[in-house]
Amino acid sequence: MNQRQSPTIPVVTGTGTGSTELSAFDAALRDAGVANFNLVRLSSVVPPHTVVDTTGATPIPDGAWGDRLYCVYAEQRASVPGEQAWAGVGWVQRVDGAGGLFVEHEGDSEEIVTKLIDLSLADLVAGRPEEFGPVQQVRTGVTCTEEPVCAMVVAAYETAGWGFTR
């Protein structure tokens, strides 16, 4: 009997520095391993029977240069020396395995991002009749020293090509 493996969403982080905030964002994309994709931001729903992997064991979905990467992501930039940039993604999954919820937040401290994720997920869960497991989250941050910086967290669902050639 062939058992089908549950789909897995890897959650990756990246930080970067650059001459501009935009180039710092690109450096964070490269650090996270998603720089050559066009990010398509999704809302908050985790598909049924999906595993969320934060260990690094699950690679980013395969794709070609310029493909779409469907994902939930948070990114924060800072350009004043001493400022911090923090990004985080949090989630809960239904105890029956039939899906879950993601949220993403950004801020200038880890404490703020943690609190926002906790508050958002509490509200999302309170508005639904299903039973959910504990809150989980991944955060990353970086401090601006001279050049602009960016911190990001990406939950990568899947890639898709464009269906046309030039």
Give the CATH number, domain containing residue 116.
3.50.20.10
Residue 142 lies in a domain: yes
Average pLDDT over residues 84-105: 97
User: Residue 2: pLDDT band by 50, 70, 90 thresholds?
Assistant: very low
Rg (CA), the chain: 17
Average pLDDT over residues 45-57: 94
Strands, DSSP E only, in the chain?
Answer: 8-17, 38-41, 45-46, 51-53, 68-78, 84-93, 100-107, 136-143, 149-160
Q: What residue type is assigned to position 101 of the chain?
A: L
Residue 2 lies in a domain: no
Residue 1 lies in a domain: no
pLDDT at residue number 5: 66
Count of domains observed in the chain: 1
Output the CA torsion sign for 15, 144, 148, 90: positive
**At a CB cut-off of 8 Å and minimum separation 6, what does 137 contact?**
88, 89, 90, 91, 114, 117
Residue 165 lies in a domain: no
